[in-house]
Chain A
Amino acid sequence: EVQLVQSGAEVKKPGESLKISCKGSGDTSTNYWIAWVRQMPGKGLEWMGIIYPGDSDTRYSPSLQGQVTISADKSIRTAYLQWTSLRASDTSMYYCAMTRNVGSGWPFEYWGQGTLVTVSS
Chain B
Amino acid sequence: QSVLTQPPSASGTPGQRVTISCSGRSSNIGTNTVNWYQQLPGTAPKLLIYSHNQRPSGVPDRFSGSRSGTSASLAISGLQSEDEATYHCAAWDDSLKGWVFGGGTMLTVV
Whether B45 lies near A104 (C-beta < 8 A) is: no
Please name all residues of chain A whose beta carbon is closer than 8 Å to the beta carbon of B44 when the two chains form the complex: 95, 111-114
Pairwise interchain contact A104-B31, C-beta atoms closer than 8 A: yes
Is residue B104 contacting chain A, with contact meaning CB distance below 8 A? Answer: yes
Listed stretches B10-18, B46-54, B77-85; interface member = B46-54
B45 touches A45 (CB 8 A): yes
B56 → chain A closest CB, angstroms: 7
Q: Is the CB of A105 within 8 A of B101?
A: no
Q: What number of A-B contacts does a CB cutoff of 8 Å give? A: 66
The CA-CA distance from A106 to B51 in the complex, in Å, is 8
Q: Is the CB of A44 within 8 A of B32?
A: no
Contact code string B76-109 (vs A, CB < 8 Å = 1, else 0): 0000000000001011101011111111100000
How distant is B85 from chain A, measured CB to nearest CB, in Å?
A: 13
A46 at the interface (CB under 8 A from B): yes
Query: Is A61 an interface residue when CB atoms closer than 8 A count as contact?
Result: yes
Interface size of A by CB at 8 A reads: 24
Is B88 in contact with A103, judged by CB distance below 8 angstroms? no
Q: Please tell me if B2 contacts chain A, counting CB pairs below 8 Å.
A: yes
Q: Which residues of A contact B (CB under 8 A)?
A: 35, 37, 43-47, 59, 61-62, 95, 97, 103-114
Query: How many angstroms between the C-alpha atoms of A47 and B33 in the bound complex?
Result: 16
Scoring A44, A59, A109 by chain B CB atoms within 10 A of each residue's CB, the highest score goes to: A44
A84 vs B44: C-alpha distance in the bound complex, in angstroms? 26
Minimum CB distance partner of A95 in chain B: B44
A106 to B91, CA, bound (A): 9
In the complex where A44-B88, A109-B47 touch, is A62 in contact with B96 (Cβ < 8 A)? Answer: yes
A96–B91 CA distance with the chains assembled, in angstroms? 17
Residues in A with CB closer than 8 Å to B100 are 47
Give the docked Cα–Cα distance between A98 and B94 (Å).
Answer: 20
Question: B101 and A47: CB pair below 8 A?
Answer: yes
Of the candidates B43, B51, B98, B99, which one forms a contact with A62 in the assembled complex, judged by CB atoms under 8 Å apart?
B98
